[in-house]
Amino acid sequence: MKYSDKVKSSKVMLDIIKSMNDEESISFTYGKGYKGEPNVYKIKCYQDTVNGKKSYSIWTNFSGMNVDSLGPTMVKCYTYDMMSQRTNYSFPLNEMLMVNEELV
- Rounded to an integer, what distance in angstroms lies between the CA atom of residue 56 and that of residue 25? 9
pLDDT at 101: 62
- Rounded to an integer, what distance in angstroms lies between the CA atom of residue 30 and that of residue 59? 12
Task: Give the pTM.
Answer: 0.82
In the DSSP assignment, the letter for residue 3 is: H
pLDDT at 99: 87
**Chunked mean pLDDT (size 10), the chain, 104 residues:** 89 91 91 88 91 91 91 94 92 89 49
